[in-house]
Amino acid sequence: MSDTGWIKSSRSSGASDNCVEVRLTGTEVGVRDSKNPTGAVHTFPTSTWRSFLTALKTGDLPEALH
């Protein structure tokens, strides 16, 4: 997989301040605040990101993350 560059969710509206951007590479996923593109970037292994997305879709997140 090649680097996708930074992408914002298609569900983000232009008027919203609550957006994150993700960057997919072959081995990692980067996540950053779209309002602060030069700020901190959190990186996760692709498998961890995949597990997180699955938990979101199935409603299987730990109580602390609700």
In this structure, are residues 42 and 22 in contact, taking their beta carbons and an 8 Å threshold? Answer: no
Whole-number Å distance between alpha carbons of 43 and 28: 6
- Residue 16 has what pLDDT? 66
Count of C-beta atoms within a 10 Å radius of residue 34? 15
- Residue 15 has what pLDDT? 67
* C-alpha torsion 7→9→13→18, nearest 10: -90
For residue range 7-61, what is the model confidence (pLDDT) as tens digits? 987 777 666 667 889 999 989 999 999 888 899 999 999 999 999 999 988 988 8
- Kindly report the pTM of this predicted structure: 0.76
Bridge partners, residue 21, by sequence: 8, 32
